[in-house]
């Protein structure tokens, strides 16, 4: 790209590499906003309990069916940098609070759409950004005012919150909604830790295991750990009651030395002595485990066949090659200590459980470790008729676990169904009157953007979006702050009475994420795209006949043109130049093609 100088006749300065594209000013802003609006339109129809699913097919042909916002934008494999920024918004929302990913992306797109209206009125992006940031701060203040404090240990309220999260998922059909909500609440309550009157939850303590077969209603919460492994030896016990569990991060094998070693054996007696010594070493390892009183061994590494035999004779159940994450969860569940050597293993390191059993789940065997005393790690075993349903169930339960965690830690809830968005819109428009100048317009547009949520919920419920929004605003102006859209019944109602409740933490994170994304995109006024790398020329000697000059399509085409333009006496010379010994071309490459 060249920059022209003011003096006539001077050579232009080359600033950017040839082929680089540059878009600046209003055109760059408009194109970026258009991309964000496209992503918003894609996700909008997936919002709410009546939202529709998306089928995503990747380059390998794998199919994903979901209405989870984070999964959709992640698997879309978007290329545009602005679209990737919205993917990051969904990712941040998912990592921080688990739910509300679709709402965050939709609100981001709507904020940018409203900003475009202001840009067309010649309002500078800096003014819009300032107004948006002020509006965001006000919105968070208003959100605190309309939130309710609940007792975090109120299991019934927590179940209602989990049901609200799951109601927009595939698993909401049939009895799955009530059942999975109860499982999610029980799982979080089991691993929650209380300190100074506050709850703390580490969701890594909840293991989610999937196994195809039966139905979602057959999913179970195991107060312990389920290992997707089987007992290593058929002679070992398959059920152990009153289990004493040893967890070892070491191999029950004769490991090869790190340095190169060579053993010379000259007679069968020496070979037998060598093998006997190996057997004795393995027997010693088993004896050390047996001496601690352990009757179950969970090993992160391998167990030799001979060691398996000795363990089976000792009546010890053993599992090998367990995942490191499973070992940590198992230690928390059974109050055991992970040791790194069989020499260090003592009876004090053992964990306890009422039952360790190998069971057949579907077509595979799994080891269940149940009845742990006060387990600080549990397992949700999800069942389902297909892999796609199980994947969606896992995504759904992830959101439900997160919202229950948020309420346990924060203790604040808010009405769902678009009620807070309408209330925030009205409150922001009122507060905008205190501002002078164009900043007031930015706050007003920010307030308008909130209305997209109830509008989409009404649309997916089959209602008139405009009519529903007018009725909602009228109800809120009368002081009915918790009125929203009951999508399942298709009417306006008090959301707390209908038990449609969201965590305040999810809503506040949506406002923060959406505002940050919109502001970041509005700050961009220049897009400089580097030129694509040139195609690599084919290597000499690969494919075709003769040298590279003949094989390259461009050169080959010019060669044929020369033959057609100069027939007769020129053919021999050109053929010789191409590397052919005969004036006539080879049969496979006719000059007439």
Whether residue 295 sits in one domain with residue 238:
yes
In a domain, 368, yes or no: yes
How many C-beta atoms surround the C-beta of residue 45 within 10 A? Answer: 17
Q: What is the CATH number of the domain that holds 202?
A: 3.30.260.10
The full DSSP string for 531-567 is PPPPPPPPPTTSSSSS-HHHHSHHHHHHHHHHHHHS-
Residue bearing tokens 């922001």: 428
Helices 504-522 and 81-96, axial angle in degrees (round to 10): 160
Please state, in angstroms and rounded to a whole number, the distance separating the CA atoms of residues 419 and 414. Answer: 9
Structural domains counted in the chain: 4
Q: Residues 99, 399, 486, 502: which is the catalytic one?
A: 399
List the beta bridge partners of residue 319: 298
Same domain, 211 and 294: no
Q: Is 68 a residue of the active site?
A: yes
Handedness of CA 285, 287, 292, 293 (dihedral sign): positive
Q: Are residues 367 and 234 in the same domain?
A: yes
Rounded CA separation 359/366 (Å): 6
Task: Name the residue among 316, 313, 296 with its Cα closest to residue 248.
Answer: 296
Residues 192 and 228 in one domain: no
In b/e form, how buried is each residue of 490-504, taking b as 16+ CB within 10 angstroms? eebbbbbebebbbbb
Element (H, E) at 529: strand 526-529
What number of other Cβ atoms are within 10 A of residue 157's Cβ?
A: 18
Question: Quick one: 63 and 131 in the same domain?
Answer: yes
- Is 9 a domain residue? no
Report yes or no: 457 and 418 within 8 Å, Cβ to Cβ. Answer: yes
Distance of CA 85 to the CA centre of its chain: 15
CA 104 to chain centre: 15
**Which of 64, 66, 68, 304 is labelled catalytic?**
68
Q: Are residues 127 and 245 in the same domain?
A: no
Cα 292 to Cα 347: distance, rounded to the nearest angstrom:
5
In this structure, what token pair is assigned to residue 445? Answer: 């547009």
Residue of 64, 71, 101, 159 marked catalytic: 101
Q: How far apart are CA 459 and CA 45, in angstroms?
A: 9
Maximum distance among all Cα pairs of the chain, rounded to whole angstroms = 101
- Tens of pLDDT, residue by residue, the chain (593 residues): 444 444 555 666 666 666 666 666 677 788 888 888 888 888 888 888 888 888 888 888 888 888 888 888 888 878 888 888 888 888 888 888 888 888 999 999 999 999 998 988 888 889 999 999 999 999 999 999 999 998 887 888 899 999 888 888 877 776 778 888 999 999 999 888 888 778 888 888 899 998 888 888 888 998 889 998 999 999 999 999 999 999 999 888 877 666 677 778 778 887 888 777 888 888 888 999 999 999 999 999 999 889 999 999 999 999 999 998 889 888 888 889 999 988 889 999 999 999 999 998 888 899 999 988 778 888 999 988 888 888 888 888 998 999 999 898 888 899 988 999 999 999 999 999 888 888 899 999 999 999 999 999 999 888 888 999 999 999 999 989 999 998 888 889 999 998 899 999 999 999 999 999 999 988 887 776 666 676 766 655 544 444 444 444 444 444 444 444 444 444 444 444 444 444 444 434 433 43
Respond yes or no: is residue 20 known to be catalytic: no
51 and 116, same domain (yes or no):
yes
Same domain, 34 and 114: yes
Residue 537 lies inside a defined structural domain of this protein: no
Identify whether 340 is a catalytic site residue. no
Are residue 480 and residue 579 in the same domain, yes or no? no
Do the beta carbons of residue 112 and residue 522 sit within 8 Å?
yes
Report the CATH number at residue 354: 3.50.7.10
Q: Is 293 exposed, middle or buried (0-12, 13-18, 19+ CB in 10 A)?
A: exposed
Q: Is 102 a catalytic residue?
A: yes
- DSSP class of residue 363 equals T
Cα 209-212-218 angle, rounded to 5 deg: 75
Examine the domain organization and report whether 255 and 362 are in the same domain. yes
Inter-CA distances, 20 with 1, 499, 524, 526, Å: 7, 56, 18, 13
Q: Are residues 406 and 421 in the same domain?
A: no
7 falls within a domain = no
What are the beta bridge partners of residue 199? 194
- Is there a domain that residue 2 lies in? no
314 and 263 Cβ atoms separated by less than 8 Å: no
User: Is residue 270 situated within a structural domain?
Assistant: yes
Residue-number span of the structural domain to which 560 is assigned:
544-593
What is the distance of C-alpha 248 from the center of its chain? 31
421 with 110: CB under 8 angstroms? no
Same domain (yes/no): 140, 62: yes
Evaluate whether residue 427 is within a structural domain: yes
Say which residue the tokens 């969606």 belong to: 392
Distance, CA of 113 to CA of 179 (rounded, Å):
40
- Which residue, among 98, 114, 116, has the nearest Cα to 106 in the 3D structure? 114
In a domain, 16, yes or no: no
């Amino acid at each position: 790209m060249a920059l022209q100088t003011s003096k006539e006749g001077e050579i232009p300065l080359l600033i950017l590499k040839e082929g680089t594209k540059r878009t600046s000013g209003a055109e760059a802003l408009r194109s970026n906003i258009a991309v964000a609006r496209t992503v918003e339109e894609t996700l909008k129809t997936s919002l709410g309990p009546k939202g529709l699913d998306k089928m995503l097919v990747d380059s390998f042909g794998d199919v994903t069916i979901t209405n989870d916002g984070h999964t959709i934008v992640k698997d879309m494999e978007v290329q545009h940098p602005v679209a990737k920024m919205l993917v990051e918004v969904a990712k941040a929302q998912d990592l921080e609070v688990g739910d509300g990913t679709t709402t965050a992306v939709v609100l981001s797109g709507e904020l940018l759409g409203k900003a475009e209206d202001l840009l067309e009125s010649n309002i500078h992006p800096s003014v819009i950004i300032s107004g948006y940031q002020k509006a965001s701060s006000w919105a968070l203040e208003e959100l605190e005012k309309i939130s309710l404090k609940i007792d975090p240990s109120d299991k019934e309220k927590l179940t209602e919150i989990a049901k609200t999260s799951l109601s927009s998922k595939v698993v909401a059909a049939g009895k799955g909604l009530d059942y999975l909500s109860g499982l999610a609440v029980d799982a979080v309550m089991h691993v929650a830790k209380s300190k100074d009157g506050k709850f703390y939850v580490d969701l890594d303590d909840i293991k989610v295991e999937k196994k195809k077969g039966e139905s979602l209603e057959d999913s179970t919460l195991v107060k312990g750990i389920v290992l997707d492994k089987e007992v290593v030896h058929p002679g070992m016990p398959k059920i152990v009651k009153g289990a004493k569990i040893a967890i070892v991060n070491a191999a029950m094998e004769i490991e090869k030395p790190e340095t190169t070693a060579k053993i010379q054996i000259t007679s069968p007696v020496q070979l037998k002595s060598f093998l006997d010594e190996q057997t004795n070493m393995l027997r010693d390892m088993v004896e050390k485990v047996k001496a601690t009183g352990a009757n179950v061994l969970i090993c992160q590494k391998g167990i030799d066949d001979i060691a398996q035999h000795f363990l089976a004779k000792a009546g010890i159940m053993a599992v090998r090659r367990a995942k490191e994450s499973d070992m940590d969860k198992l230690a928390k569940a059974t109050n055991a200590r992970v040791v790194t050597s069989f020499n260090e293993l003592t009876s004090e390191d053992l964990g306890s459980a009422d039952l360790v059993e190998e069971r057949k789940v579907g077509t595979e065997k799994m080891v269940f470790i149940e009845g742990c005393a006060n387990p600080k790690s549990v397992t949700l075993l999800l069942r389902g008729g297909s892999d796609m349903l199980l994947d969606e169930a896992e995504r759904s339960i992830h959101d439900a676990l997160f919202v229950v965690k948020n309420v346990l830690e924060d203790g604040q809830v808010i009405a769902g169904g678009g009620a807070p968005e309408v209330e925030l819109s009205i409150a922001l428009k009122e507060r905008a009157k205190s501002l002078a100048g164009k900043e007031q317009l930015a706050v007003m547009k920010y307030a308008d953007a909130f209305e997209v949520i109830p509008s989409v919920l009404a649309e997916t419920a089959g209602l008139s979006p405009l009519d529903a929004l007018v009725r909602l605003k009228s109800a809120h102006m009368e002081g009915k702050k918790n009125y929203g859209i009951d999508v399942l019944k298709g009417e306006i109602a008090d959301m707390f009475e209908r038990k449609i409740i969201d965590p305040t933490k999810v809503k506040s994170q949506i406002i923060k994420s959406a505002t940050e994304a919109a502001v970041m995109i509005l700050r961009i006024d220049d897009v400089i795209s580097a030129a694509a790398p040139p195609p690599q020329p084919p290597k000499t000697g690969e494919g075709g006949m003769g040298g590279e000059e003949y094989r390259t399509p461009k050169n080959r085409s010019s060669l044929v043109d020369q033959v057609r333009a100069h027939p007769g006496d020129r053919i021999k010379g050109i053929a010789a130049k191409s590397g052919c010994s005969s004036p006539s071309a080879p049969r496979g490459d006719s000059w007439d093609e």
